[in-house]
Amino acid sequence: MKIYTKTGDKGTTALFGGTRVAKHHIRIESYGTIDELNSWLGLIRDQKIDAASKKTLIHIQEKLFTVGSILATDPKKAILKNGKERLTIPKIENSDIEFLEKEMDKMNEVLPPMTHFIIPGGHTTVSYCHIARTVCRRAERLTSHLHENEPLDEKVLSYINRLSDYLFVLARKLSLHLKVEEVKWIPKKN
């Protein structure tokens, strides 16, 4: 199988189901940003972090492929007029969202209470988490925009929202494990 097809040479690409859209279509921006996020998670996973976090990140990366599949599917081609599915793609379930919440709850049990905003940085691995968090927020904004124009399963939006929270808590956990001081943002008075 060749990796290049030349079908996108004129600035269009195919959605799952065959519909061709511009490469800058909000649907492409949405799943492209999810793909970017997945790559950042791979970079975090490649750092010297605990095995449990690595395992969780792999699980999340697999779920991001599900999110990407959902976003890459033309909703008009996915469902037949009688309501049955034409294209079978995985779904994001409530249990996927609850998984992220439980992981955050476990991490928060050992973290000091947060009293201020935290300035990103302190260690490369922690910074990678913050970058991934901001990419996740961008994916959320794009997917929300897509949802406004072409409604999709709201569990996808919830999952992306919860994932950005997870990445923030993971950054805090890694700061603790790496013995990195969290720099609090305290506004200066004029």
Domains and CATH numbers, the chain: 14-181 (1.20.1200.10)
Give the burial class of 116: count Cβ atoms within 10 A of its Cβ; 0-12 exposed, 13-18 middle, 19 or more buried: exposed
**Predicted local confidence at residue 85, as pLDDT:** 62
Question: How far is residue 158's CA from residue 121's CA, in Å, rounded to a whole number?
Answer: 27
* pLDDT on residue 57: 98
Tokens representing 94?
A: 């409530």
Q: What is the pLDDT of residue 5?
A: 75
Task: Say if residues 172 and 127 touch (Cβ distance below 8 Å).
Answer: no
Can you give the pLDDT at residue 55? Answer: 98
pLDDT at residue number 184: 86
What is the Cα–Cα distance from 15 to 102, expressed in whole angstroms? 34
Q: Which residues make beta-bridge pairs with 100?
A: none
Look at residue 1 in the predicted model and tell me its pLDDT. 67
Tokens of 101: 């919440």
Burial class (CB within 10 angstroms; exposed 0-12, middle 13-18, buried 19+) of 26:
middle
Residue 182 pLDDT:
87
- pTM comes to 0.89
Alpha carbon distance 171, 167 (integer Å): 6
Going from the first residue of the chain to its last (190 residues), give the mean pLDDT of each consecutive group of 10, the final group possibly shorter: 71 73 83 97 97 98 96 75 67 97 97 90 96 98 96 95 98 96 85
